[in-house]
Chains A and B, each alone.
Chain A
């Protein structure tokens, strides 16, 4: 029985409480395990518990040129893709937030399609297009793929904020004599700024970590996720792989936590007291 016999709105049954906390624990165990394994002294098997702990593998990983190259490629791709997506996503969101026109629904679908369809479709489609246009895989093709799904993230974040903004604010600003540019600068941008920043951070994290699309568009380039994927099948480098896993967690989680604090709804500040 999930629910108590009597109606007590603020008291969940012990079974539901257990289900909720056990589920939450289930979601966190693997991440802790990875962090633990980065320090293990065992380098051949996945033996648990680890026989001993060491910082040696961090030293080895930091000395590897291939890791540094992949890391800088991934950071470069994420920065370029995020920059393009910030422009395209914000434009699309401003256009579709209030306007009413015939093709609006189809455009809304188009702008979320890259994340509604599985990543492999975007990947193989880009590859098919590259083959047809006889285009070689390069930094640019990776960025083109990433910018497409990053645009969706920015669009979603910015449009959600614009919809919460009362339209009367813009009208009031114009009535009080502001021109379009002033309204944008003093009314719209301050409201949208945090959503814009948060979207950018999420897009950066998503791009930095992306593998499904990237495999198809990268050719011989090796982003950090592709490096990681190749290492999965090479037992010799397991300890270094574990260290890279911890680096990837750190690089993706920092922008995500910042994005969370930037977009936290105001009412949560009240309930969080």
Chain B
């Protein structure tokens, strides 16, 4: 059979055509990706022998029991969750004026400038950005220099002296870590938000104004509800990315552990893959819960 005849054969039989196309990616995703996820799940039901430090390959809930009964582990989960929520809220607030401006006000060159301006830092090397913040937040770095020039050193020191979120310098405090997280995920919030705002029809705003609403009322009652799906879509990224990150908490930040760091340390130096696997199930569960919530707000329509 010639290639020509084969192509006609497949055009006439859409199901065969579909199979032909789907087999390679499904084989790859089925074995490499889903296979790995199941291996991970299986590992989380293994345990580690306390004396020999060998992995015991028998199904048990011991590792999960260890995860939920040790207060230190609960603290790690709560700390990570709090950070993810705080970062998501901050990203939404900072993204709002940028997204509104680029979607509704900027025209022509200015609009292109804003879109490129948001996309370039998003695609700039992740590690390089983290490294840059280490330079910025360091004790003798640019932020300390700028606050000194502005005469605000007292304010910075007061913030760093705050118990719980402070530390010896910005680069070793939760405040610093929070700033870096917000910076890293901000574009992931701006782009879906701007996309949602682009879709709000101008006639609705005119109608609202004609009916006597002030611009702030129009914004609250017309624009914001229509932008919610975009915000929900962006928040999926900011939330999920913060939950799983282990590089930022280990490069910038306070001594407290985060879920990602715990997974990394347990599989590495501690050699306890079952506990690392159990810990990595936590963000999966949290994200599926969050996806369920986001779906209610129409996040998937906005993606």
Contact = CB atoms under 8 A, between A and B. Distances in A.
Interface residues of B, number: 99
A30 B28 contact: no
A3 B202 CA distance: 16
B102 interface: yes
Interface in B205-228: 205-206, 209, 214-216, 218-219
A151 B25 contact: yes
A168 interface: no
B4 A248 contact: no
Interface in B289-303: 291
B142 A144 contact: no
Interface in A19-48: 19-20, 23-24, 26-31, 33-34, 37, 45-48
Majority DSSP secondary structure for residues of B touching A: helix
B97 A19 contact: yes
Contact of A31 (B37, B132, B186, B243): B132
Contacts of A29: 136
Contacts of A202: 123
A16 B100 contact: yes
A27 B118 contact: yes
Interface residues of A, number: 97
Interface stretch (B61-69, B70-78, B152-160, B260-268): B260-268
B107 A241 contact: no
Q: Which of B14, B26, B186 has the most CB of A within 10 A?
A: B26
A106 B258 CA distance: 31
B48 interface: no
Majority DSSP secondary structure for residues of A touching B: helix
Interface of B: 3-4, 6-8, 10-11, 14, 18, 21-22, 24-26, 28-29, 32-37, 39-40, 42-43, 94-98, 100-102, 104-105, 107-109, 111-112, 114, 116-121, 123-129, 131-136, 138, 140-142, 145, 183, 186-187, 202, 205-206, 209, 214-216, 218-219, 236, 240-241, 243-247, 251, 260, 263-264, 267, 273, 276-277, 280, 283-284, 287, 291
